[in-house]
Amino acid sequence: MWFSKSPQDVMKELGVNPAVGLSDEEAKVRLEKYGMNKLKGKPKKSIISLFLSQLKDMLIYVLLAAAVITLVIGEIADSIIILLVIILNAAIGVIQEYKAEKAVEALQKMTTPRSVVRRGGVIKEINSEQVVPGDIIILDAGRFVSADLRLIESANLQIEESALTGESVPTQKKADSIFVDPKTPVGDKTNMAFLSTLVTYGRGEGVVVATAMETEIGMIAKILEDDNEEMTPLQKRLDELGRILGFLAIGICALIFVIALIQKRDLFEMFLTAISLAVAAIPEGLAAIVAIVLALGVTRMSKINAIVKKLPAVETLGSVNIICSDKTGTLTQNKMTVVKQYTSGKLSEVSQTEVNQVATPDEKELIRSFVLCSDATYENGQGTGDPTEIALIILGDKFGLGRVNVNTKHKRVSENPFDSDRKLMSTLNTEGDNYRVHTKGAIDNILKLSTSALVDGQVVPLTEQLRADYLKITEDMSDSALRVLGVAYKDTTTIIAPEEMEKDLIILGLVGMIDPPRLEVKDSITEAKRAGIRPVMITGDHKNTAVAIAKELGIADSIEQSLTGAEIDNLSDEVFAANINNYRVFARVSPEHKVKIVRAFKAQGNIVSMTGDGVNDAPSLKFADIGVAMGITGTDVAKGASDMILTDDNFTTIVHAIEEGRNIYNNIKKSVIFLLSCNLGEVIAIFISILLNWPVPLIATQILWVNLITDSLPAIALGIDPGDKDVMKQQPRNPKESFFARGAGLRAVIGGSLIGLFTLIAFYYGLWEHGYVLGSGVVPEEALPYARTMAFVVLAASQLFYSLSMRNSTKSIFKIGFFTNKILVAAIIVGILLQLVVISIPFLADAFGVRNLSLQDWGLVIGFSLIPLIANELIKFFRRMKDK
């Protein structure tokens, strides 16, 4: 509560004399007591802990169980294969998270700012980490504030606090202010200066009242320490799927034993069969395939300027239906820009893109006076000084009145600096053989000091009508959330004293400036709304400014859709959460409010993406489903708290990332449904053969080969399908929606049943060819491996062909185009070649228990294999007919 105490009381409490500062010995004692002035970072995860965190997954647990069982029964090769899949899956996740961490480190600027302090009566520069409570800090323009300070002196001191409050305009500081209200917002504490903010103008002195984690920024860092690891919708779906498959495998094994007892079959043989069935029920490659698809998606996203830090975050993007965005720097350009200028009787717009614009003679005088009465610089796209003045220098550049040229021609000989009481600044410059005063500042004060006006090149008396015109234009600009600045001049033959400058002025006019929206954002917001995504603006800025920008961008329609932080405080959490969907703009909010807003949206079942760049955004980035930080203007704290970083700081990239996220989820769903169809086919083939008291058509090694090789290649290819061009015309997916929604479950059952049935038919045909008919007791010795080979080929080939049909649930393969996914075509060809290799090479054929097939049987198995594909295409055809 330092802001509610006078500087004298603060000094007394901290035991320091401002004229002398702390002694070096006292500073050492305090450094021991309070510690170094640096924020605590989270300890980095080791590669091992990253690896182990990848194994916390239900599917992985099921695979580990399968590996242990296969090892116990002596199937060492199978066990090793399953363990390799688990390691591959974890390795992909580790590599991706490690790469993202390195990318974040590369984005961080390695800087240790220095501080100017008074110690033992001497002013010296020290490393900011050595600053302690009670230190007297000297502030001047261009220096970062190194701790939280209670100001004890201020002379025209302005501090840019956008990283902390979200306001793009610097705050005017006053050391002698005292605030009694304990709820005074950070942005309104004008007697304080905060860690990581930047002095843009004037000078001051302050006493350090908090360092490191006790500062305002430290408080935010503490909020970030609370681990809030929620599972993403995809992780929840896969976890649920893992449980279902795990219980299914146990259920199948139990059922097999019951059947074995009824049929009085050999129990050990049936145990091996049950293991085969359990292996068939679990898609061993699924976890690895999902990880590969996500990793490839992340690589694609990095090409559109989005660095994803955690793999599952990619898919969550596809479910996002609310984008909460910080205003300053994300939706706007974070630079004040003059957009309108007014000279008597003429209001004109200033183009944001055009250079060498043409001005009237009166406008030239207006712009020249503004440029001469500014201390800022702007060269090669870089500005220094007050953002308002930088905007005036850029205005001069646009109209061919560059700062250097104008100042060379009209040298400054004297000035009356800006101060917050007058709200004015004046300079005295040469004008030919004489001198001219240029005064800029608040329009009300300019009008009070003016007796004349420049109208069409003529100096005329400032009538009440003219005065009313200036005030009307000012009011209109203010209603549009523009910051208004007036300018006036007067000629003099001699150098006059500063206190004589601001009398009997001639008003030239005024300009309106704003931190303008990014040019490309409006189209992105339209696209987002079309895709069922609601953009929401959250800012520390004033309500009118925020609503004006929101209206221009199409985020809000009226001021009724906005709420301030103070208004949020007056609502209970329940009432706020119940009405949250009525609001589009939240202004004048603190970091705590941002978290409250995100939580309220989430409480209504929304999937929330929060974007931001300032330290003040970090807690809400952490609590959102997807936290998106800015890579260029973003603070390290924001990047650390986020799930995704935009390397181009562009809101538009978020919309592209959401599109990518939707396509990635659809692709994962295709892969999952495809794999489950294949596994269902295997289960049906084995289960029916047991019910019919036939030999088992497939052995465990063959099933593992199909699950890990034959299935996996097309599943990965489906996972990187080019995606649906119309995906952003659809509403966001309900995060609670199952993988099997919208008919996907039925397609899996039909596909799996057909694959299983034709695998059995091929198996029976192979037995029949070798003289075995239903009811015959003994199977001829050569018949079983041959029949199993036919079943093995049909199972593998039908799955390969069936993958073509999985690319789209409604469009035919001819409409999508066979070669629009060349990787899938290659996967099918490679899969068939691998089947040929296994059957043709003797030592592999022995390991898999297969035989060479006759040419006629090859034709037959290929024919059988095409039937599930044809059937699925016919189902799609009839569905399209029905929809028409």
Q: Is the pLDDT confidence value at 209 over 90?
A: yes
d(CA 569, CA 510): 38
> Looking at residue 43, what is its pLDDT?
65
- pLDDT digits 0-9 by tens, 468-511: 999 999 999 988 888 899 999 999 999 999 999 999 999 999 99
> Looking at residue 100, what is its pLDDT?
58
d(CA 836, CA 797): 11
More confident residue, 106 or 454: 454
Query: What number is the average pLDDT over the span 147-158?
Result: 91
CA atoms within 13 A on the CB side of 324: 33
d(CA 292, CA 578): 40
Q: Provide CB contacts within 8 A for 267, sequence distance 6+.
A: 257, 260
pTM over 0.85: no
Q: Provide CB contacts within 8 A for 425, sequence distance 6+.
A: 373, 415, 416, 417, 418, 439, 440, 441
Q: Which of 449-458, 535-544, 730-739, 815-824 has the lowest mean pLDDT?
A: 730-739
Query: What number is the average pLDDT over the span 668-692?
Result: 87
Where do the H-state alpha helices sit in 720-777? 744-769
Residue with tokens 């049936």: 270
> How many helices and strands (H and E) does the chain possess?
33, 26
Confidence at 228, pLDDT banded by 50, 70, 90: low
Q: Which two tokens stand for residue 170?
A: 């610097």
Contact between residue 486 and residue 509 where contact means Cβ atoms under 8 Å apart: yes
Confidence at 824, pLDDT banded by 50, 70, 90: very high
pLDDT winner (highest mean) among 361-365, 719-723, 775-779: 361-365
> Looking at residue 223, what is its pLDDT?
66
Q: Is the pLDDT confidence value at 591 over 80?
A: no
Q: Is the pLDDT confidence value at 110 over 50?
A: no
Q: Which two tokens stand for residue 101?
A: 């961490």
Confidence at 809, pLDDT banded by 50, 70, 90: confident
> Looking at residue 59, what is its pLDDT?
67
Q: Which of 136-140, 291-295, 333-337 has the lowest mean pLDDT?
A: 291-295
Query: What number is the average pLDDT over the span 416-434?
Result: 89
> Looking at residue 61, what is its pLDDT?
77
Is-catalytic flag, 636?
A: no
> Looking at residue 240, what is its pLDDT?
78
Contact between residue 230 and residue 599 where contact means Cβ atoms under 8 Å apart: no
Task: Choose among 82, 445, 546, 85: nearest CA to 288.
Answer: 85
Q: Which of 78, 135, 326, 386 is catalytic?
A: 326
3-class secondary-structure state, position 439: strand
Where do the H-state alpha helices sit in 320-399? 361-372, 387-398
Q: Is the pLDDT confidence value at 437 over 90?
A: yes
Q: Which of 540-554, 688-702, 848-862 has the lowest mean pLDDT?
A: 688-702
The helix or strand, by DSSP H or E, that contains position 430, with its residue range, turns out to be: strand 424-431
- pLDDT digits 0-9 by tens, 34-45: 998 887 766 667
Helices 783-805 and 712-719 sit at what angle, rounded to 10 degrees?
Answer: 0
As a whole-number percent, the residues of the chain with pLDDT over 70 amount to 93
Q: Which of 181-190, 320-329, 418-427, 766-775 has the lowest mean pLDDT?
A: 766-775
- pLDDT digits 0-9 by tens, 563-573: 998 899 999 88
Max intra-chain CA distance, the chain: 125
> Looking at residue 41, what is its pLDDT?
62
Query: What number is the average pLDDT over the span 578-600?
Result: 89
Q: Is the pLDDT confidence value at 108 over 50?
A: no
Residue with tokens 């199948």: 252
Residue with tokens 């000989």: 413
Instruction: Report the mean per-residue pLDDT for the chain.
Output: 85
Q: Is the pLDDT confidence value at 221 over 60?
A: yes
> Looking at residue 162, what is its pLDDT?
76
Angle at 824 between CA 820 and CA 829, to 5 degrees: 125
Confidence at 107, pLDDT banded by 50, 70, 90: very low
Confidence at 728, pLDDT banded by 50, 70, 90: confident
Confidence at 109, pLDDT banded by 50, 70, 90: very low
- pLDDT digits 0-9 by tens, 857-873: 899 999 999 999 999 88
d(CA 628, CA 538): 14
3-class secondary-structure state, position 62: helix
d(CA 105, CA 697): 55
Q: Which of 358-367, 463-472, 586-595 has the lowest mean pLDDT?
A: 586-595
d(CA 560, CA 550): 12
Query: What number is the average pLDDT over the span 755-784?
Result: 82
Query: What number is the average pLDDT over the span 523-534?
Result: 92
More confident residue, 762 or 651: 762
Confidence at 111, pLDDT banded by 50, 70, 90: very low
d(CA 379, CA 4): 42
Query: What number is the average pLDDT over the span 601-614?
Result: 87
> Looking at residue 224, what is its pLDDT?
62
Confidence at 33, pLDDT banded by 50, 70, 90: very high
More confident residue, 590 or 96: 590
Q: What is the DSSP string of 225-288?
A: HS---PPPHHHHHHHHHHHHHHHHHHHHHHHHHHHHHHHT--HHHHHHHHHHHHHHHS-TTHHH
Query: What number is the average pLDDT over the span 640-668?
Result: 86
- pLDDT digits 0-9 by tens, 256-281: 778 878 877 777 777 777 776 776 67
Query: What number is the average pLDDT over the span 651-662?
Result: 87
Inter-CA distances, 149 with 1, 29, 34, 278, Å: 12, 20, 16, 66
Q: Is the pLDDT confidence value at 105 over 60?
A: no
Q: Provide CB contacts within 8 A for 408, sequence distance 6+.
A: none
Helices 233-263 and 286-303 sit at what angle, rounded to 10 degrees?
Answer: 160
3-class secondary-structure state, position 413: strand
Task: Choose among 34, 402, 363, 240: nearest CA to 737.
Answer: 240
